[in-house]
Amino acid sequence: MKRAGRAEWTKLRTDASNGWLTLGVFALTVAVGAAVAMTSRCDATGCGADPTRLSLTGVMVGQVVVAIVAVLMAGNEYGTGMMLTTLTAVPRRLTVLCSKSAVLTAVTLVTGTISVLASLLIGRLVQPGRGFTREHGFRALSLADEPTLRAAVGSVLYLVLIGLLGLGVALAVRHSATAIGIVLALLFVFPILAQLVADPDWQRHLQQISPLTAGLAVQTTVGVDDLPIGPWQGLGVVALWAVGALAVGGRLLCARDA
């Protein structure tokens, strides 16, 4: 397992595109979060805005790049035929699955943590000048505040789970473009359907099973009781999607030839 993990790390870091994509996760997450923080306003008490979630808006964009990195981690090997070499060097296919998952998790944890902390720091510096003040009922963003800490930790875990979801899908379909399309559909089709459905009960159910809507509920710090699903329960939904994708991908990895 140790040697397999080292091999996966070597493959990941020696591919220049992965470095640029990882940098893109940070750049997009921080840039979008900063843009939203700098353009949002709260001009009176009870404006209903959620400063923490506004600062972390970039996670919604960064997750797309995380999913791409995860898909390419397996999809590129199938596309180039390198998967045969990988499975020859490491015949135990579950070891291959675990090593890829571990390396992807570690890289996403580091990148996600830096991105989330930078986004919150920018929000802390910018938002008081945009009306998010004590006079309007807001404290400066701080990880000492339990809801903000939960939003930060949950956002990082969400990115990790999206990465694992992408890896599982890529192992199942063995084609990068197809896998990316499937992951993006899983993320964005459910929220669109929820907007098109008129029945409020069905809207709520679609939001509860949507990886995007349910998972990002963990970022909410204002009006938590109005959410279609609780913050940690929503993150659990994403975990189920990720585990399911890895289970299917791992099963097919073991059952099929490279």
Task: Report pLDDT digits (tens) over 187-206.
Answer: 999 999 988 888 889 999 99
| Amino acid of residue 159 | L
**Model confidence, pTM:** 0.94
Burial 221-254 (b: 16+ CB within 10 A, else e): beeeeebbbebeebbbbbbebbeebbeebbeebe
pLDDT digits (tens, 9 = 90+) for 41-98: 887 776 778 899 999 999 999 999 999 999 999 988 888 888 888 877 877 889 989 9
Extents of the domains making up the chain: 2-255
Name the percent of the chain lying above pLDDT 70.
Answer: 99
